[in-house]
Amino acid sequence: NDNIQRIIKKAEGGDKTEYEAITYEGYGPGGVAVMVETLTDNRNRTAADVRHVFSKSGGNMGETGCVNWMFKRKGVFTIDGEENESLTEDDLMMIALDAGAEDVKSEEGGFEIITQPEDFDAVEKALADNNVEVAMAEITMIPDTMAELDEEGVAKVQKMLDLLDDLDDVQDVYTNADLPDDDEE
């Protein structure tokens, strides 16, 4: 009878599942720092799944705060140089820095703009007002230092990142592993 009542309640929309954001931290293969942001309705299941991936990959899950000090939350804009041919680095620097950006880096084939999260919207608006085509814009975690890995280490870390991405509750994964550009998180 309880099962029937629960099913009826769920069908009526009475089942108010609450989701909670949890960040797990630890060290992956080669000692790289890994942060896993999750959104879950079952804390125990998610913790077990993430812990399993860490141990299966040759890493270990740590206590809260064990690696988050190595990362800073930043806004990042990627500007494609080909889409913005008439834009010079000096012009972009003036637009971005006037809007509150921290740094403008010249990257291969384009530019990268770094902001504080609270300045993200102002920089985004300034870029749009000046008709700058933005290839990617996000608020992310950027590591203070990168961990160098050999080819085998890169493969192990990439496998771990793929396993974490396959978990339903995982929203984002950040690492300080120096991975090739096409695999970078």
Mean per-residue pLDDT for 130-155?
A: 92
Q: What pLDDT score does 143 carry? A: 94
The pTM of this model reads 0.78
How distant, in Å, are the alpha carbons of 96, 143, 179 from that of 115? Answer: 9, 14, 23
Encoded tokens for 40:
């879950």
Q: What pLDDT score does 184 carry? A: 41
Nearest 10 degrees: Cα torsion 126, 131, 135, 141: 0
Q: Tokens 């509750």 map to which residue?
A: 169
Q: What pLDDT score does 185 carry? A: 41
Q: What pLDDT score does 124 carry? A: 94
